[in-house]
Amino acid sequence: MKTRIDAKFAALRAEGRKAFVAYIMAGDPDYDTSLEVVRGLPGAGVDVIELGLPFTDPMADGPTIQLAGQRALEAGMTLDRTLDLARAFRETDNTTPIVLMGYYNPIYSRGVDTFLAQAKEAGIDGLIVVDLPPEEDSELCTPAQAAGLNFIRLATPTTDDNRLPRVLQNTSGFVYYVSITGITGAAEAEAGDVGPEVARIKSATDLPIIVGFGINTPEKSRAIASVADGAVVGSAIVSRIGAGDSVDSVLEFVKSLANGAHAA
């Protein structure tokens, strides 16, 4: 079964264009502002929306995303309200893919089957769950694919040739290549380092390779997209929201990043 993610990448491939993915923490700084930003993303040139599910112990995230999660939780954001936000977005946009990015604990607490049914109904297309390694595929990855959701894996600079086949085994939608070792927002991505790694992963899969972590300017977005199938930006956008920038200002910044990736 083809998802919105599969359809989007097929369309981009046909047009010879690179993808721009934007990460937003659901409910940051509050539900209404967050929904307004998310609704504005497609118009700003975003091809895929990565929606963060706030969690109390986000171990893969740097301070910027951690603070966004805290703001969202303090504003009353929950798994249910995150799914509500996706539903509200789907009322006016039935084509832009949404990837829900989070941790396994809230999903496990809800019950995997219940969660997958609710996520699918809410209009979620794929999942990134960073604390479930491939060895745990039967927990969520395999059931998610069976439910018609893509399960997107992270590959990193430390994913060697022995590990890579295991990482790619049940991955679908796209591969998210983490350009640096460490947490989000920690260092800058360099196209010279990323290019050979993307080529190495491409030799092992037909899936699109999208690169994230350490991309914070339109120039960087363009440079990274030029050596991959697209770029994802999170911390740089989230920090603008955290600084209290207006929705219009945030979307203007997103548009500049998207233009960078699309110029690649």
Q: Is the pTM of this model over 0.85?
A: yes
- Residue 43: inside a domain: yes
- Residue 82: inside a domain: yes
DSSP state string for 88-137: HHHTT-SSS-EEEEE-HHHHHHH-HHHHHHHHHHHT--EEEETT--GGGT
Percent of the chain predicted with pLDDT > 90 = 92
Alpha carbon distance 163, 174 (integer Å): 17
What is the average per-residue pLDDT within 35-51?
98
Distance of CA 262 to the CA centre of its chain: 17
What CATH number is attached to the domain comprising 116?
3.20.20.70
Average pLDDT across the chain, whole number = 96
> What pLDDT is recorded for position 128?
97
What is the total count of domains within the chain?
1
> What pLDDT is recorded for position 180?
84
> What pLDDT is recorded for position 35?
98
Q: How confident is the model at residue 264 (pLDDT cuts 50, 70, 90)?
A: very high
Q: How confident is the model at residue 188 (pLDDT cuts 50, 70, 90)?
A: confident
> What pLDDT is recorded for position 67?
96
- Residue 15: inside a domain: yes
- Residue 193: inside a domain: yes
Alpha carbon distance 140, 81 (integer Å): 21
- Residue 264: inside a domain: no
> What pLDDT is recorded for position 81?
98
Asked whether residue 186 carries a pLDDT value surpassing 70, the answer given is no
What is the average per-residue pLDDT within 49-64?
92
Alpha carbon distance 38, 43 (integer Å): 10
Asked whether residue 187 carries a pLDDT value surpassing 80, the answer given is no
- Residue 47: inside a domain: yes
- Residue 90: inside a domain: yes
* Catalytic residue IDs: 50, 61
Asked whether residue 182 carries a pLDDT value surpassing 80, the answer given is no
Pair 258, 231: CB distance under 8 Å: no
| Domain boundaries, position 131 | 4-259
153-166 tens-digit pLDDT: 999 999 999 999 99
- Residue 174: inside a domain: yes
